[in-house]
Structure 1
Amino acid sequence: MKRFLAFVKKEFFHILRDRRTLLILFGMPLAMVLLFGFALTNEIKNAKIAVLDLDHGPHSRQITDRLLSSGYFQLIQNLNASRDIEPAFRRGKVKLVVVFPPNFSQDFARNDTEAQVQLLADASEQNTAISLTNYATNIIQNYKSEQAPPGTVAPMQIDVQPRMVFNPELRGAFVFVPGVMAMVLLLVSALMTSVTIAREKEMGTMEVLMVSPLSQLQILFGKVLPYLLLSFINGCVIIALGVFLLGIPLNGSLLLLLAETLLFTFLSLSLGLLISTIADTQLVAMFASLLVLLMPTIFLSGFIFPIESMPRFLQFVSNIIPAKYFIEIVKGIMIKGIGLDLLWKPTLLLLGMSAFLMAVSLRNLKPRLNQ
């Protein structure tokens, strides 16, 4: 019994000395609880909106104030004409546009006339668009009820007309295909790359490769190039399935979409190389990839949960998640039909991340291979 207890004690000390095991045992559950408990919610807060007020009357101003004071909306832009609506959506600045037609206040004050308010939502993010239009409709209808004379049923009427832009049928594939595409590229590129290099180090065959006539760079790129090609093919297959099977439009440039897909694949490979410089075994590489890549892609990229509803700290963290920018690019090209003139910023960020990660990975990996 004493020998058994000594063995158990030894195992406890072994686990406590291994920081990576402690991170997996305690870090991942803690992160999951904090994310699901405090950060990840489908409730919309501080959504960016624009207002096109062609009335400039008291009721249009009061309804606008009600919308902004609710906590759901944040005014980003006051539009001057209807022609400004589509460019605002294409630039990705706003999620909702509220349109007050001329003479809205006069129509609202007349009992025999139905005033109209138009709500235009960016339905490339389906769930967010539905939630925003529902929030705005309820606020407007509550305002109408409050304006009724005491003791009477409100004779004043407001006709709220919601319209979904870019995805009028509210098809879920428009939302999930870009996110699934980002996850597949990350898993195939980063996860498999980190595991295959960790396997070589774990089996001791990397040293055999190092004495071959090939240089270190040739060996590394020879290991990752197949995954680059396979991941790019996966990306092309997902695009084809989305267009021909799921009916997602390809309103932008196919060549630009393929180039952006190749860029994101290269970035994913750089992440895999970085993980391989840290992990000594395949198991550690797999857990590190799931923790560092898969979870942030699902939770912090805007794929499922709206970034605007997260705490400020997690909104800041989401800015370093590559999948966030790739999903934005895919939606912009396929659904909105925009080009590099509006997507240059996320593209430049992906380029910068790729160069930085590859440089750090190569710098860390070569000394470890020489040990």
Structure 2
Amino acid sequence: MKRFIGFVTKEFYHIFRDRRSLFILFGMPIVQILLFGFAITNEINNVNIAILDHSKDANTQEIINKISASKYFSINQLIERESDIEAVFKKGQVKAVLNFEKDFSKNLIKNRQATVQIITDATDPNTANTITNYVSSILQNYQMEQNKAVKINYVIGPQPRMVYNAELKSVYMFVPGVMTIILMLVSAMMTSISITREKELGTMEILLVSPIKPLLVIIGKVFPYIFLSIVNAIVIVVLSIFIFKMPMQGSLILLALESILFILSALSLGILISTVSATQQTAMMISLMGLMLPVILLSGFIFPISSMPLPLQIISNIIPAKWFIIILKGIMLKGVGIQFIWKETLILLGMTVFCLALSVKKYKIRLE
């Protein structure tokens, strides 16, 4: 055990002596979290929404059909009670709920005015704002069509209400994404480079035949990055809460456990990359092209996955970052418990076990 502790201590010293590694490990997270706070607006397509129709009359059905016929929305489900709205949002099944008031047609004919409440999930403020604008546009178009047949104009008044992010702060969107990118960068890329460096210099074989068992050698090499990734996660959360005033609705313990699981998942990918890379340059390219770009483009961080072509939507399911961002938004903004994110947790756990098992198998082949 003393040898193992000494080996881990040596790895920490090696990291702290390398200024470039220190900048990547500690400087980049702070710079990104402070400078990445810009809003990115994107077109939406096939966004899942739910309908709560208290009136169930001809006019509401026409509006529902008009919304369903558009390329922007897909009606995921019909709900019966307002108490079901929060549960639907927490499950992450829909991005918006349209709430038609009671006696919609009666109010439209008698009072010349009726109301549709647009309730959106504002954990992604840009998408929420875009959804509101699109629904309002469809309602205005329907209103113009109806007014052609009457002398006195009808007025359909949408009442938008944003949940989980009423002020539409973009920081609520980019913090989970930046946290995911940083943890993936530190855990996967730095780990793969660290192990590949030993292989490139010819010292990995010396370590593997040393008195320390090969498994402990690998653990010793990656343990510092687990620790540093946890430190980075804490720094990002603290900056988010105290500088950007981001709420923390859920359990900090659950957030910590899920973050450690994602770190292990990213770490397993880093180890796997190191098994197929002979040089640090190769490991760097595989990490950047194989991990960083998919994390940014296919995780739902910047671009809505539902608006992507079907092949990319399918590929996004094998990106661990996609599931971790869903978990982060659920815990931090919605305050959900494990009962709402157990599926995403199991997927991350399965990915971690698969990559570790494959890495161990490849290392055994190398040792033989």
Question: TM-score when scaled to structure 2?
Answer: 0.87
Match of 1:216 in 2: 214
Cα displacement (A) at 1:150: 5.5
Paired AA for residue 42 in structure 1: N
- Structure-2 separation of matches of 1:186 and 1:180: 10
- Distance in 1 (CA, whole Å) between partners of 2:150 and 2:104 is 25
Q: Which residue number corresponds to residue 115 of structure 1?
A: 114
Counterpart CA distance in 1 for 2:148 and 2:299 is 48
Give the deviation of 1:108 after TM superposition: 1.4
Q: Does 1:124 align with 2:146?
A: no
> Does the alignment pair 1:330 with 2:328?
yes
The residue that corresponds to 1:51 in the other structure is 51
Q: Contact conserved, 1:297 with 1:324, CA < 8 A, in 2? A: yes
2:298 aligned with 1:300, yes or no?
yes
* Alignment-mate amino acid for residue 69 of structure 2: S
Who is 1:74 aligned against?
74
Q: 1:317 aligns with which of 315, 318, 325?
A: 315
Residue in structure 2 matched with residue 149 of structure 1 by the alignment: 148
Question: Residues 172-207 of structure 1: CA distance to partner in whole angstroms, max 9, x if unpaired?
Answer: 110000000000000001000000111111111112
Aligned to 1:60: 60
Stretches of structure 2 that go unaligned for 5 or more consecutive residues are 1-40
CA contact (8 A) 2:115 2:158 kept: yes
Please state how far the C-alpha of 1:77 moved relative to its aligned partner: 1.1
3-state secondary structure, aligned to 1:260: helix
1:100 and 1:274 map into 2 onto residues whose CA distance is: 52
Distance in 2 separating the partners of 1:62 and 1:238: 47
Is 1:135 aligned with 2:134?
Answer: yes
Amino acid at match of 1:337: G
Other-structure match for 1:165: 163
Offset at residue 246 of structure 1 (A): 1.0
1:87-120: CA deviations, max 9, x gaps?
Answer: 111111110100100011111123x432111000
Q: Which residue of 2 aligns with 1:245?
A: 243
3-state SS of the aligned residue for 1:163? strand
The amino acid across from 1:57 in the alignment is D
The one-letter amino acid of 2:343's match is K
Aligned partner of 1:349 in structure 2 is 347
Aligned partner of 2:127: which letter?
T
Structure 1 residue 225 and structure 2 residue 223: aligned? yes
2:112/2:153 contact within 8 Å kept: no
Question: What letter matches 1:182 in structure 2?
Answer: T
**Cα shift at 1:271:** 0.3
Q: What SS does the corresponding residue of 1:320 show, helix, strand or coil? A: coil
Letter in structure 2 aligned against 1:100: F
- Distance in 2 between the 1:192 and 1:366 partners? 22
CA distance in 1, matches of 2:312, 2:109: 45
How far apart are 1:210 and its partner, in Å?
1.8
Map of 2:198 onto structure 1: 200
**How far, CA to CA, are the matches of 1:77 and 1:149 in structure 2?**
32
Of structures 1 and 2, the larger Rg is shown by 1
Deviation at 1:305, TM superposition (A): 0.2
Q: Secondary structure at 2:159's aligned position in 1?
A: strand
Partners in 1 of 2:225 and 2:169 — Cα distance?
32
What residue is the counterpart of 2:37 in the other structure?
Answer: none
How far has the Cα of 1:244 moved from its partner?
1.7
Tell me, in whole angstroms, the C-alpha distance in 2 between the residues paired with 1:109 and 1:315.
Answer: 44
User: Aligned equivalents of 2:148 and 2:272: distance in 1?
Assistant: 67
- What is the number of residues matched between the two proteins? 328
Q: Determine the C-alpha separation between the residues in 2 that align with 1:151 and 1:160.
A: 21
Using the alignment, how far apart are the partners of 2:150 and 2:140 within structure 1? 18
Contact 1:249 1:335 in 2 (8 A): yes
- The one-letter amino acid paired with 1:273 is I
Decide whether the 8 Å contact of 1:48 with 1:96 is kept in 2: yes
CA distance in 1, matches of 2:238, 2:141: 46
- Name the CA distance, whole Å, in 1 between partners of 2:209 and 2:112: 86
Provide the rounded CA distance (Å) in 2 between the counterparts of 1:151 and 1:104: 17
Deviations 1:219-264 (A, max 9, x none): 0000000101100111111111111221111111100000000010
Deviation string for 1:130-158 (max 9, x for gaps)? 11111110001000000113596x61101
Mapped contact 1:216–1:366 kept (Cα < 8 A): no
Q: Supply the distance in 2 between the matched residues of 1:159 and 1:151 (Cα, whole angstroms).
A: 18
CA RMSD of aligned residues (A): 1.3
| C-alpha distance in 2 between matches for 1:150 and 1:105 | 15
Instruction: Give the Cα–Cα distance (whole angstroms) in 1 for the partners of residues 97 and 225 of structure 2.
Output: 43
Q: Distance in 2 between matches of 1:285 and 1:200?
A: 12
Aligned to 2:12: none
User: In 2, distance between residues paired with 1:43 and 1:169?
Assistant: 20
